[in-house]
Amino acid sequence: MATTPRIGVVTFPGSLDDRDAARAVRAAGAEAVPLWHGDAELRGVDAVVLPGGFSYGDYLRAGAIARFSPVVNEIVSAASRGLPVLGICNGFQVLCESGLLPGALIRNAGLHFVCRDQRLRVESVTTRWTSDYDEGAEIVIPVKHGEGRYVADQATVDALEADGRVAVRYLDNPNGATNDIAGIRNESGNVVGLMPHPEHAIDPLTGPSTDGLTMFGSVLGALVSA
């Protein structure tokens, strides 16, 4: 397999970290393919990143409008066929709104927007996006959000924990998330959503670590070996 893997990065009106996600994709060695919210096509990409931001102004509720966009419609059906999908921050909110992941993200417990270098533990390495980490690895990746407090009904949280579907957990919870949950995966491990921003931890010059690069490298490894 000599061809470079192609990873789509969606831009909604109001997406902010789309250029950063594309940069991280390129840094990991893949081609970043721009996907436009209004186009119902995925341009043959091998994986998709839903980046951070305030899609459609986050009017109504974070991610609530983006979930109805033509591109997300395509992503939902491709994900059910195994396409790797990573939702970062607003992208995680979109994944929850679209039903690809359970639960919801609500206003931070402290009521303030929080931007800080966040310590995390990788809880599940059986996903397309975390397979290159060591299980239990402690990593540092920035968080920056006002509505990042993960909540779900007790049965859902119990199921996530029992099935090992918590992907990453906060070591010092910045937002009051249930069970310190920072990110989760779906049952087959191709869809991961998390509040922290791995695309801002790819270069020590501009981020607190290079721990985020491993996330983009993980999906690449799986694609190249496939």
Partner 1 sequence: MTDIDTVSLAAQDPDKNQPYLELGLKDDEYERIREILGRRPTDTELAMYSVMWSEHCSYKSSKVHLRQFGEDPPASDAMLVGMGENAGVVDVGDGLAVTFKVESHNHPSYVEPYQGAATGVGGIVRDILTMGARPIAVMDSLRFGDAAAPDTKRLVSGVVAGIGGYGNCLGLPNIGGEVGFDPSYAGNPLVNALCVGVLRHEDLQLAQAKGAGNQVVLLGALTGRDGIGGVSVLASATFDDAVDGGGAAGPSKRPSVQVGDPFTEKILIECCLEIFQAGLVTGIQDLGGAGLSCATSETASHGDGGMRVALDKVPLREASMSPLEVLTSESQERMLAIVEPSNVDAVLALCQKWGVVATVIGEVTEGDRLVVTWHGETVVDAPPGSLADDGPVYQRPVARPDDEMDALNAATGARLARPVTSNQLRDAVLVMTASPELCSRRWVTEQYDRYVLGGTVLAMPHDAGVVRLADDSTRGIALALDGNGRFAKLDPYAGAQLALAEAYRNVACTGARPLAVTDCLNFGSPEDPAVMWQFAEATRGLAAACRELGTPVTGGNVSFYNQTGATAINPTPVIGVLGVMDNVARRLPSGFTAADQAIVLLGATDEELDGSAWSWVTHRHLGGRPPTVRLSSERALAWVIGSAGDGQAITMAHDLSEGGLAIALVEACLIGGIGATVTLDGDPFVALFSESTARAIVATDDAEMLFELAGVNDVPAQLIGTTGGDALSVAGQFEITLSELRDASESTLPSLFG
Q: Which is nearer to partner 1, 68 or 113 (CB)?
A: 113
For CA atoms 38, 146, 76, 45, give the dihedral sign: positive
Binding site for partner 1 (CB under 8 A): 13-14, 16-17, 19-20, 23, 52-54, 56-59, 112-116, 142, 144, 146, 197, 199-200, 205-207
We find the least distance from the C-beta atom of residue 45 to partner 1, in angstroms, to be 21
**Cβ neighbours around 155 below 10 Å, total:** 9
Q: Give the whole-angstrom CA distance, residue 42 versus residue 144.
A: 28
Q: Which is nearer to partner 1, 185 or 200 (CB)?
A: 200
User: Cα 141–147–153 angle (5° rounding)?
Assistant: 100
| Catalytic (active site) residue 199 | yes
Helix axes 18-27 and 213-225, enclosed angle (nearest 10): 60
**Cβ neighbours around 51 below 10 Å, total:** 27
Q: Which is nearer to partner 1, 13 or 164 (CB)?
A: 13
| Catalytic (active site) residue 115 | no
- CA distances to 99, 132, 223 from 90, rounded to whole Å, are 14, 24, 25
We find the least distance from the C-beta atom of residue 40 to partner 1, in angstroms, to be 16
Catalytic residue among 37, 74, 89, 145: 89
Q: Which is nearer to partner 1, 146 or 217 (CB)?
A: 146
| Catalytic (active site) residue 112 | no
We find the least distance from the C-beta atom of residue 161 to partner 1, in angstroms, to be 29
Q: How many residues does the chain have?
A: 226
We find the least distance from the C-beta atom of residue 153 to partner 1, in angstroms, to be 30
Catalytic residue among 97, 123, 147, 199: 199
**Cβ neighbours around 223 below 10 Å, total:** 19
Q: Give the whole-angstrom CA distance, residue 226 versus residue 219.
A: 10
We find the least distance from the C-beta atom of residue 94 to partner 1, in angstroms, to be 16
Q: Which is nearer to partner 1, 16 or 104 (CB)?
A: 16
Catalytic residue among 96, 97, 123, 197: 197
Q: Give the whole-angstrom CA distance, residue 189 versus residue 162.
A: 15
Residues identified as active-site: 89, 197, 199
